[in-house]
Amino acid sequence: MSAARRFFASTRLQTPLIFQIDTRNVASGATDGSQLDNQFILPLDFPTSGTHNFIIKVSDGRPDVGYNGTNPNARIITFATPGIYTITLIGRSNYFKPWGKADVLKWVSLDSWSSNFKASSYDNYFNGALNLIIRSKTTIKLTGNCSSAFANIKGFDPSFELSKVDVSETNSVAAMFLNITTSFYYALNAFMNQVTTIGQLYRNVNMSNVTKVEIIAPQCNNANYILGGSGFRGTLIITAPLTSIFGLVADYTNPPALGQVDIRLVNTAGSFINSVMSRTNVDSTLLGWVNNFDWSGIANATNKVTFDFYNSTYSNNASVIAAKAFLETKGIVFTRLTMA
């Protein structure tokens, strides 16, 4: 059996990485060959390293090529004419990252994810792939630092459920979806057991079609700007030992009720909102903070943290008034919040 046939036999059962490119999406000022509108360069760091071992299949009918780091020119794919092509990679690479490569703009669709193609960390993985839509039918499993992994891409297909993004072995999802321009219809999987920061997770993403965001992160203390500028108005649930919620739901009007966000340990809440919260949502927030969490282990304090409610009002209701008074005994200072 030839070496090529042995290679195919060893990789055929592996989940392939399948994606589409448009060679015409040329980055301005590129000089490494990616400026050509009939070429695509596979995003391999250390292309001559022995950590690559995969087959390259291209939809234009050319013969498949094996890549193992000893043939670095094989990562440069030249087409007869500019256009859209599908590339399938079968095997593995430990130095595969589109971010920072000029050809990142040529990615237009990710159709099948493979965890066999990764960098040492998923931080900034597809960051800057402005034309990329994620359509993968396979689970996207991430590990380690995943900060900004999908920041600034075009977005996710409306049918793609973010529960397919597995962050169970991830320690940071900060800014993972920052500045994505298309609407979201789902939220990330709730269970983030190893995540220590979720800051800016959905910042400047259109979340107006999402009805619930739930985050269960027993090691996370930073929720700064996670929904800033997102327009989210659904139910927000955060179960985590948060100490900082700076800008939590800032930069859009009519922020949602926050009564299911655990604020017992918070010591920084600056600009957690920066527009008026409806009276109904204020009432729900105050009552929820008291009734949804066990405060028995939280000592009374004075002036521990300030919550600026941006000229919002609460109801002249005995239970709401009592909830506000109780929270004040725990050191919460309310500013620009008055009784209606």
Mean pLDDT (the chain) is 93
| pLDDT for 5 | 42
Whether the per-residue pLDDT at 259 is higher than 70: the answer is yes
Tell me whether residue 162 is exposed, middle or buried, using C-beta atoms within 10 angstroms of its C-beta: 0 to 12, 13 to 18, 19 or more.
middle
Whether the per-residue pLDDT at 10 is higher than 70: the answer is no
Quickly state the pLDDT bin for 340 (edges 50, 70, 90). very high
Pinpoint the alpha helices (H) of the chain.
Answer: 3-11, 279-291, 318-329
Express each pLDDT in 293-323 by its tens digit: 999 999 999 999 999 999 999 999 999 999 9
Quickly state the pLDDT bin for 31 (edges 50, 70, 90). low
Dihedral, CA of residue 70, residue 74, residue 75 and residue 78, to nearest 10: 170
Give the Cα separation of 113 and 177 in Å (integer): 17
Give the Cα separation of 250 and 232 in Å (integer): 10
Extended beta strands in the chain, E state? 17-22, 39-41, 52-58, 65-67, 76-78, 84-93, 107-112, 133-134, 140-145, 155-156, 165-172, 212-216, 235-239, 260-261, 301-314, 330-339
Nearest 5°: the CA angle 179, 126, 188 is: 60
% of residues, the chain, pLDDT over 70: 95
Give the Cα separation of 14 and 92 in Å (integer): 9
Q: Are strands 133-134 and 107-112 parallel, antiparallel or unpaired?
A: parallel
Express each pLDDT in 189-233 by its tens digit: 999 999 999 999 999 999 999 999 999 999 999 999 999 999 999
Whether the per-residue pLDDT at 11 is higher than 70: the answer is no
Give the Cα separation of 29 and 221 in Å (integer): 41
* CB proximity list for 132: less than 8 A, separation 6 or greater: 107, 108, 109, 110, 126, 153, 154
Radius of gyration of the chain (CA): 24
Dihedral, CA of residue 267, residue 268, residue 274 and residue 277, to nearest 10: -20
Give the Cα separation of 282 and 309 in Å (integer): 9
| pLDDT for 120 | 80
Write down the residue that tokens 């299949």 correspond to: 57
